[in-house]
Chains A and B, each alone.
Chain A
């Protein structure tokens, strides 16, 4: 039986060359996926007047786009596992275009929900996940930089889409704008065309052999790949029923790797992020209304968001560069936890700012923290589960995050309405994020220790002289993490894993 898709190790990623073109494509794709739901809000007032609905009914469109973009993550993962990234992104671009063009001819709000909400949202989902997956396939050494650059697409696209949408709206009204936006979204197909397939099963398998001389890092990858491709060498639990079950499970796991739920790092990431998203987006949504509530005019309030976006654009690639440095990369999970906690602290301090200068300072730090978290959002997941299983991991994570992303702003809104004061919403967001950051910090400390321990045990068992030990043991763990997570290895690792977790959080 051929090894399942998620255990196939990609050969040494090129870390450059066409990879930078792929980063540009991902930049465009990710930018549209994140910026479009926010950018389309410009049309809501007109649509509300046209159909005679309330504002909340129209605002549902944004929520449906966001929910579909995150909720359709597993569908995206399954399709990528089956067909590869390129056809999926091109299909996504087509769906977005079709959705918006059909929205231009809508005659009821329900039709808008379907066309703009579901169809376009699904298209954006098919754009977002494969773009992030492709970065993992093309980069390893410089992956944080690539991720930071690609994620910078979101604020850049938002800054571009906002005035563009306003211009289209003034020229063509909302119907004509949707028609033109459909064409603009077709550019995602161009981004998809740039995603040249790479990995085993394509011609680049030869590079695995020809690039072996490129350094100790890559040598380890190829050896691990060879180790992986002979699963029969590994001691699996030897029961025939279990093997039969595994065949069935592996068939499902080919499409969507549910065995990730046994992966310690994945679970830590999932719980931490699901908690974090409860307080992540609400402050951005309520920043301008908060400024107006204090007494500043509409333009000053909008300027705060512009400051946030500009700082965000700069922060994301910078964070990528910092995360790629040799001091931070082995401990990137700590950096991620720190940035989440930093974000939370900003929110906790916001109610203290009552002057415009205070709010500007808050916006600057918030933009910085927001950019830091977003730049590392997918990088840390790749770091934990490895590029091979990332395809399924990202799908499972996005559908879980979908719930809290949607719940966050309404809970914030409810707090504001109940108390009549914005500070409780900021406090709630701050507390949630500081908690999430602390949880991730502690659990990742535990995870790093466990990985180091398992590494020592495995080294002692195998006594493999070929394993190149660098001076930084954790950097090795990081490399091993990208290879060790096939389902065949699961029972070997999990024998030690769950027992320790039961005993307590920190095991010395």
Chain B
């Protein structure tokens, strides 16, 4: 069986140490959200990458700007140190948190994990919307509700009037 030779990867679980021999001949795959992460302007966004059961030596986050890959932490970090927070949630999970999103933050990101055997990459998408996007269906539904309530109330007033003035001998129903 092809293996990693003498390399043994130790993964710390919550209460016990699991010894797991690296039995793959290639680097582990990164697990991340397939669908784009959607967040809103001036709100934070969180993106996570995970390599199940393995420990990466280091993680690096990139943002694809056109064709260029910009690395985090980048020059931006110096001027706006509070904008990005890269944290290691556990041995196999990394998280990039962008506080106070701007329109330019939307796009493709990639998280790269460095293992003994090499590097592995996962791609994620971030969509930044303004609140106008869900606001349109919201207003449409509110208008529908108000219209329906008004219609029902008007119909009731109308039918009460008809029954009172129009047909006094029939039973009120």
Contact = CB atoms under 8 A, between A and B. Distances in A.
Interface string B85-107: 00001000001000000000000
Interface in B158-173: 160, 171-173
Given A170-B35, A176-B133, A14 B40 contact: no
B134 interface: yes
A170 B141 CA distance: 19
Given A17-B173, A176-B134, A183 B129 contact: no
B126 to A, nearest CB: 10
| Chain A, interface SS category | helix
Contact of B137 (A180, A190, A194): A180
Contact of A179 (B89, B95, B135, B156): B135
Task: Give the bracket for the number of chain B residues in contact with chain A.
Answer: 20 to 34
B153 A49 contact: no
A447 interface: no
Task: Give the bracket for the number of chain A residues in contact with chain B.
Answer: 20 to 34
Most buried by A among B35, B135, B171: B171
A234 interface: no
Interface stretch (A110-118, A199-207, A389-397): A199-207
Contacts of A17: 173
A193 B173 contact: no
Contact of B152 (A14, A177, A190): A190
A186 B144 CA distance: 10
Interface string A5-27: 00000000010011000000000
Given A50-B46, A176-B40, A190-B152, A203 B137 contact: no
A241 B135 CA distance: 62
A196 interface: yes
Contacts, number: 78
A211 to B, nearest CB: 6
Contacts of A104: 134
Given A14-B173, A206-B172, A190 B38 contact: no
A193 B171 contact: no
B46 A176 contact: no
Given A49-B46, A207-B171, A184 B141 contact: yes
B39 A180 contact: no
B148 interface: yes
B140 to A, nearest CB: 8
A182 interface: yes
Contacts of B129: 172-173, 176
A175 B48 CA distance: 18
B37 interface: yes
Contacts of B39: 173, 175
B172 A186 contact: no
A405 B148 CA distance: 35
17 contacts: A14-B173, A18-B173, A50-B44, A52-B46, A172-B38, A173-B39, A173-B127, A175-B43, A176-B133, A179-B134, A183-B138, A190-B148, A190-B149, A190-B152, A193-B148, A194-B152, A211-B171
Interface of B: 35, 37-40, 43-44, 46, 48, 89, 95, 127, 129, 131, 133-135, 137-139, 141-142, 145, 148-149, 152-153, 156, 160, 171-173
Given A104-B134, A193-B152, 16 more contacts: A49-B48, A50-B46, A171-B38, A175-B39, A175-B43, A176-B133, A179-B134, A179-B135, A180-B138, A180-B141, A183-B137, A183-B138, A186-B141, A186-B142, A190-B152, A203-B160
